[in-house]
Amino acid sequence: MTLDPDLFSDCGTDRPLIRIGDKWTMKIIVCLRDGPRRFGELIVPLRITAKVLTESLRAMERDGLLTRTAYGENPPRVEYALTPLGRTLLEPLAAICAWSAAHQPEVLRARSA
């Protein structure tokens, strides 16, 4: 059986719908797993620039994966939290992480050969 030339025609234009592959989305979701986090709280473990973190958070907000709540205080305080939709990503995410953990040595061995 030959491959359907239009096999991927319904996959949107090019990239997958959610940016699983980008450098930050998955890690941000992991960081928000246990509850809301502040901007400055996220920066530390991610070792990310403020600019890039802002961009990523805004994109994820647009996609309905998380919410941004700013309290009108001074100094400012902003909290980010996963939406129910964002939480549903934790499962497939765990599948990827499990694969990575299980097969990492195997890949590294192949790569060095």
Partner DNA sequence: CGGAATCCAGCACGATACTG
Partner DNA sequence: CAGTATCGTGCTGGATTCCG
Q: Would you tell me which residues interact with a second copy (CB under 8 A)?
A: 1-8, 11, 14-23, 26-27, 30-31, 34, 37, 41-42, 44-47, 62-64, 85, 88-89, 91-92, 95-96, 98-100, 103-104, 106-107, 109-111
Residue 81 phi/psi, 5-degree rounding, is -140, 145
Which segments within the chain are labelled E, that is strand? 37-38, 66-71, 77-82
* Subset of residues 48 to 107 that bind DNA, contact rule: CB under 7 A: 48-52, 54-57, 68, 70, 75-78
Decide which of a second copy, DNA, none touches 54; Cβ closer than 5 to 8 Å per partner kind.
Answer: DNA
20 contacts: CB under 8 Å, gap ≥ 6: 26, 96
Told to check if 40 binds DNA by CB under 7 A, we report yes
- Report the residue count for the chain: 113
